Amino acid sequence: MPSKKVTPAAFTKMESRVESLEGEISEIRSTLIGVQNTVKENHASLIAMLEKCLGKSLASEEEGSTIHFFNSLIGEDEVLTWESLKEALMERYGGHGEGDVYEQLTDLKQEGTVEEYITEFEYLIAQIPKLPEKQFCGYFLHGLKSEIRGKVRSLAAMGEMNRTKLLQVTRAVERE
């Protein structure tokens, strides 16, 4: 291939383009450093949130199993997404009964107040993504005390009731 002569104008244009690209690379490096710092800060925030939720200090228990669990998650998955973190946390800390969450929902029965039942129910429901409305209502009504369940079903039959309304009606029935 024959060599091309580079004119001074073309050389100046290339030199300008190289300088522009070097500037862009410098900006990208700065942005990357900022992202890395944010990840480190969020890691610390996440640890603090877990400490608060779990009621113990993870930082003071450097040798504890929780910090090892969390560090192993980060080590396994360099790009830890919210979904994978949520799944891992649910596997480790989720549920507090026998069987999977669906079995626990089926077995859940109101023993105390409606508010106590709702709290326990919501804890289990939070572990199921995108539970259809009919299933939500079915699980919820199934576990209520029979005298409350009957009244709530009667009121629910009068018209469509979303989740929030169902919980409000149930609280109102208990207050009667």
- What is the predicted pLDDT for the residue at 25? 86
* Of residues 31 and 139, more confidently modeled: 139
110 and 77 share one domain = no
Domain housing 26: 8-93
56 shares its domain with 130: no
Query: Is the same domain home to 87 and 120?
Result: no
Average pLDDT, integer, range 62-85: 69
Residue 60 is given by DSSP the state G
Q: Burial level of 79, CB count in 10 A (0-12/13-18/19+)?
A: exposed
Instruction: Using the predicted structure, report yes or no on whether residue 59 has a pLDDT greater than 50.
Output: no
Residues 21 and 83 in one domain: yes
Please report the pLDDT score of residue 113 as a whole number.
Answer: 94
120: in domain? yes
Task: Give pTM, 2 decimals.
Answer: 0.49
The answer to whether residue 26 scores a pLDDT higher than 70 is yes
For residue 73, pLDDT beyond 90: no
Overall domain count for the chain: 2
Mean pLDDT of the chain: 79
Is position 2 within any domain? no
Query: Residue 3 falls within a domain, yes or no?
Result: no
Answer yes or no: is 1 within a domain: no
Tell me: do 43 and 74 sit in the same domain: yes
Q: How far is CA 14 from the centre of its chain?
A: 49
Q: To the nearest 10°, the Cα dihedral for 131, 137, 142, 144?
A: 120
Q: Which of the pair, 157 or 87, is modelled with greater confidence? A: 157
pLDDT band at 116 (very low <50, low <70, confident <90, very high): very high
| 13 and 83 belong to one structural domain | yes
**For residue 2, what pLDDT band results from cuts at 50, 70 and 90?**
low
